[in-house]
């Protein structure tokens, strides 16, 4: 039995790939530099313990290969090789000439042997990919699916191991990772600049999507209503355009979208469902089957998820939103569903570089919030000059220009006290929304009634 060791198993995509290799009867072990989390807890409940902390003793000498999360590359001022050598497990693997692959490289080795369906754009990847899981798992279309978030309907797993030749993946654009994949179908429906610690500007970002389109062998599904998607228009390609809420143009026919009775509110969720519907129609599935599956969809972890109630009866929601457009759409859908409640938002920006570059967008994202707390800015791969320039105080001051109800939480501990104070003074009145891609979700355990 071959042995594979995963470094950074707490990252959702890496944990999904570990599940895949276990399905192939590999002996799997892993480590993580963080602390126990929802992801590691579910893995340990399934079969094996996690080594917390990185130590060369964790890696057996007889390991066949290593797969690592690129999140271990944390020092932007160092070269990639120096970053890798800074991890004792990876340094040992390199010393012993053990084959070592980054997560995107390892995923490419799997999916490039199959008919890959790549869901690749700025917002909504996990939702569309997980809806495709619900549609394509079982029946005659038993595709494998890898999602960047645990799916509620499948015991909070993030991998489905199917028998069909298709493999659906959430393809991330960070560091042009998705260019390692050779898709048969690519879905691109919104393009907004992100990952400013890597991409120089929008043109640089767009070039990555042009390259992905060029290496797609079959169909490219694009959003006609997104101006950056329209820049990808190329008559030499098999492009399929989705027209907002109305219909999809397959070139050989136009199909008007049926009505979906979704369990989750929000126009953006409905649009993600229509993208999944479009892929399913391409694969030959009939309407009744697709609609029944979409109607059963109940969502994913950390996406507008309410699972807690405070001692005072207020709802607590956790959401992974950290880009201005995501935040705006998420809060609008929450306000739509809970129109009789106040929306009390705690937002932790992710990365100083992203906060600087997307500042104008953040300044128009919180129209649906009645109150807003910024506890801090989460540090991740940031340069010293960015940290010194965009302080939490400065960010709060910028937001106050449009949202006078914004306050500086002065760290997680003080933010927790502010939330508790609000909760006590406003019982049974509010939805408390934690927006984050960092560690602000750690507060939720202190708020549960």
pLDDT tens for 199-236 read 999 999 999 999 999 999 999 999 998 999 999 998 87
- Residue 400: give its domain's CATH number: 3.90.190.20
78: pLDDT confidence band, cut at 50, 70 and 90? low
Regarding whether 259 and 376 lie in a shared domain, the answer is: no
Q: Which residues constitute the domain of residue 41?
A: 3-105
315 shares its domain with 441: yes
Q: Are 209 and 193 in contact (CB under 8 A)?
A: no
Measure Cα distances from 243 to 36, 255, 281, 286, 419 in Å: 43, 10, 15, 20, 42
Tokens (6 digits) for 30: 């892993």
Mean pLDDT of the chain: 89
pLDDT at 139: 64
Same domain flag for 187 and 63 = no
Q: What tokens appear for 176 in the block?
A: 């042009």
Same structural domain, 97 and 141:
no
Average pLDDT, integer, range 104-129: 91
Of 265, 296, 327, the domain-final residue: 296
Indicate whether 180 and 313 sit together in one domain: no
Residue 62 above 70 pLDDT? yes
pLDDT of residue 269: 86
pLDDT tens across 307-333, in order? 678 889 999 988 877 789 889 988 998
Indicate the residue among 240, 264, 296 that finishes a domain. Answer: 296
Is the confidence at residue 400, as pLDDT, over 90? yes
Out of 85-99, 128-142, 353-367, pick the least confident: 128-142
pTM score, whole prediction:
0.83
Percent of the chain at pLDDT exceeding 90 = 58
* Cβ contacts of 291 within 8 Å, gap of 6 or more: 258, 260
Q: Are 190 and 233 in the same domain?
A: yes
CB 115 within 8 A of CB 142: no
Does 250 lie in the same domain as 128? yes
Instruction: Examine the domain organization and report whether 100 and 119 are in the same domain.
Output: no
Do 315 and 224 lie in one domain? The reply is no
Asked if 341 and 401 sit in the same domain, the reply is: yes
Is there a single domain that holds both residue 319 and residue 416?
A: yes
pLDDT at 249 exceeding the cut of 90:
yes
What's the pLDDT score for residue 404?
Answer: 94
State the pLDDT at residue 287: 94
pLDDT one-digit tens code per residue, 148-194: 887 878 878 888 998 889 999 999 998 999 999 999 999 998 898 88
Question: pLDDT tens, 251-271?
Answer: 889 999 999 988 887 788 899
pLDDT computed for residue 157 by the predictor: 84
Number of independent structural domains in the chain: 3
Average pLDDT over residues 337-364: 93
3-state SS class at 24: coil
Q: Give backbone dihedrals phi and psi of 333, rounded to 5 degrees, phi first.
A: -70, -35
pLDDT higher than 90, residue 337? no
pLDDT score, position 441: 73
CATH classification at residue 252: 3.40.1190.10
pLDDT above 70 covers a percentage of the chain that reads 94
| CATH number assigned to the domain comprising residue 53 | 3.40.50.720
Please provide residue 156's backbone torsions phi and psi, each rounded to the nearest 5 degrees: 60, 30
Residues 45, 139 within the same domain? no
Distances (CA, A) of 45 to 283, 360, 363: 35, 43, 42
- Return the pLDDT at 263: 85
pLDDT, tens digit, 9 for 90 and up, residues 409-444: 999 999 999 999 999 999 999 999 999 877 877 776
pLDDT at 448: 62
Please say whether the beta carbons of 333 and 265 come within 8 A. Answer: yes
Number of H helices, E strands in the chain: 17, 20
């Amino acid at each position: 039995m071959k042995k594979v060791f995963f470094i950074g198993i707490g990252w959702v995509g890496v944990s999904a790939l570990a599940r895949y290799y276990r399905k192939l009867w590999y002996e799997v072990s892993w480590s993580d530099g963080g602390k126990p989390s929802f992801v590691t807890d579910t893995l340990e409940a399934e079969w094996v313990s996690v080594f917390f902390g990185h130590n060369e003793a964790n890696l057996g000498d007889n390991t066949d290969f290593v797969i690592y999360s690129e999140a271990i590359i944390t020092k932007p001022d160092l070269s990639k090789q120096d970053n890798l050598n800074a991890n004792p497990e990876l340094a040992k693997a390199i010393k012993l000439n053990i084959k070592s692959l980054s997560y995107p490289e390892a995923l490419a080795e799997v999916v490039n042997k199959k008919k890959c369906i790549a869901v690749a754009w700025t917002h909504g990847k996990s939702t569309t990919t997980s809806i495709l899981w619900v549609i394509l798992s079982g029946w005659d279309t038993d595709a494998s699916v890898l999602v960047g978030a645990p799916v509620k309907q499948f015991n909070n797993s993030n991998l489905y191991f199917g028998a069909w030749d298709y493999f659906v993946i959430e393809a991330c654009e960070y560091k042009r990772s998705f260019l390692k994949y050779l898709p048969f179908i690519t879905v691109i429906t919104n393009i907004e600049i992100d990952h400013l610690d890597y991409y120089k500007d929008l043109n640089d970002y767009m070039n990555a999507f042009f390259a992905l389109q060029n290496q797609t062998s079959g169909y490219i599904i694009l959003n006609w209503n997104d101006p950056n998607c329209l820049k990808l228009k190329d008559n030499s390609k098999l492009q399929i355009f989705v027209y907002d809420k109305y219909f999809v143009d397959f070139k050989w026919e136009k199909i008007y979208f049926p009505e979906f009775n979704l369990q989750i509110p929000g126009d953006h969720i409905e649009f993600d469902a229509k993208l999944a519907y479009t892929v399913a129609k391409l694969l030959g599935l009939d309407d009744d089957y697709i609609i029944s599956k979409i109607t059963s969809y109940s969502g994913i972890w950390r996406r507008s998820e309410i699972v807690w109630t405070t001692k005072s009866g207020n709802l607590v929601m956790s959401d992974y939103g950290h880009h201005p457009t995501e935040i705006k759409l998420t809060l609008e859908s929450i306000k739509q569903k809970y129109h009789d409640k106040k929306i009390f938002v705690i937002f932790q920006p992710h990365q100083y570089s992203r906060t600087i570059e997307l500042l104008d967008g953040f300044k128009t994202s919180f129209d649906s919030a009645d109150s807003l707390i910024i506890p801090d800015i989460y540090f991740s791969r940031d340069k010293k000059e960015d940290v010194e320039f965009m302080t939490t105080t400065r960010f709060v001051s910028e937001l106050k220009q449009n949202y006078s109800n914004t306050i500086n939480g002065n760290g997680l501990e003080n933010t927790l006290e502010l939330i508790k104070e609000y909760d006590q003074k406003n019982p049974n009145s509010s939805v408390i929304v934690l927006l984050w891609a960092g560690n602000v979700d750690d507060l939720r355990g202190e708020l549960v009634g």
